[in-house]
Amino acid sequence: MDHECLTVERDGPFVTITMNRPERRNALSLRHLEELRAAFREVGESDALGVVLAGRGSVFSAGHDFTEIAGADLAAMRRLLWACTEVMQTMQSIPQVVVAKVHALATAAGCQLVASADLAVAAESAAFAAPGGKGGWFCTTPMVAIGRSVSRKRALELALTGDPIDARTALEWGLVNAVVPDDQLDAATLDLLRRATRGSAASKALGKQAFYTQIELDQQKAYAYAVEVMAAASQLPDAREGVAAFLEKRSPRFGQPR
């Protein structure tokens, strides 16, 4: 797919997907969502180890594009919201670690992107909101992701008030992993991605998939599932190599991501 709304750049083992509609505050039109979905799928099929999701301009993402929504019928809205849902699910299903680099306001579905990323780093000037509670269109789908990142009371505070929270509050509530001065955002994001992708890529990919599966199960079912996954993973070459390297007091030599 040719990108109208994004730039996709690779630097070594990492890919940066940058939302590039600054004149529209990176609003998520259907085209924009389709490009995001395609870009994440393409990265997922590559040998990259990690992905940074960023935004260009004064806003990380303002959420859905209201100029596209105005007057849309029920079928069109279902198509749009499912496209958005598939982006969020794809981010969590690909084997690579996904880090959101949030430099500014992330609102509604833009905040959903942050909550759906595996990890997130925010600049001190960033802010987060689910503003539907102030208007006539409640942020129901964004709250699926946000409600799985923060506590129930905090999620409902965001959703019901519609008020934005600053980056430090987002860190306290668990929506982001770190908050740094604006001029340190690039370095801090890269540092986190490097730390999150060291070790066995194959093991990490399996572990990421297992995490998102077990987190939705009750505890007994989660343990039953996790035991089987971890037992099977112990037989993989990288797992055997990791144990051998530890016992032999040497650095492990892991295989390729796939």
Reported as a single tens digit per residue, the pLDDT across 189-206 is 999 999 999 999 999 999
Token pair listed for 109 = 């579905």
Contact 126, 97 (CB under 8 A): no
Give residue 10's pLDDT band: very low, low, confident or very high (50, 70, 90).
Answer: very high
Give residue 95's pLDDT band: very low, low, confident or very high (50, 70, 90).
Answer: very high
Overall size of the chain counted in residues? 258
Please state, rounded to an integer, the average pLDDT across all residues of the chain. 96
Q: Distance between CA atoms of 5 and 56, rounded to whole angstroms? A: 10
The string over 150-178, giving b where at least 16 C-beta atoms fall within 10 Å of a residue's C-beta and e elsewhere, is beeebbbbbbeebebbebebbbebebbbb
Q: What does the pLDDT read at residue 256? A: 61
Q: What is the mean pLDDT of residues 48-54?
A: 98
The DSSP letter of residue 198 is: -
Per-residue pLDDT at 258 exceeds 50: no
- For 12-44, what is each residue's pLDDT tens digit? 999 999 999 999 999 999 999 999 999 999 999
Give residue 182's pLDDT band: very low, low, confident or very high (50, 70, 90).
Answer: very high
Residues 6+ apart with CB under 8 A from 201: 49, 95, 254, 256, 257
- For 218-240, what is each residue's pLDDT tens digit? 999 999 999 999 999 999 999 99
Q: What is the largest CA-CA distance in the chain?
A: 66
Tell me the backbone φ, ψ of residue 163, rounded to 5 degrees.
Answer: -75, 145
Q: Residue for token digits 């940074």? A: 52
Q: What is the mean pLDDT of residues 102-130?
A: 98
Q: What does the pLDDT read at residue 2? A: 76
Three-point CA angle 168, 29, 43, nearest 5°: 75
The two beta strands, 59-61 and 105-107, are: parallel
Q: What is the mean pLDDT of residues 248-253?
A: 94
Percent of the chain with pLDDT over 90: 97
Per-residue pLDDT at 178 exceeds 80: yes
Percent of the chain with pLDDT over 70: 98
pTM equals: 0.94
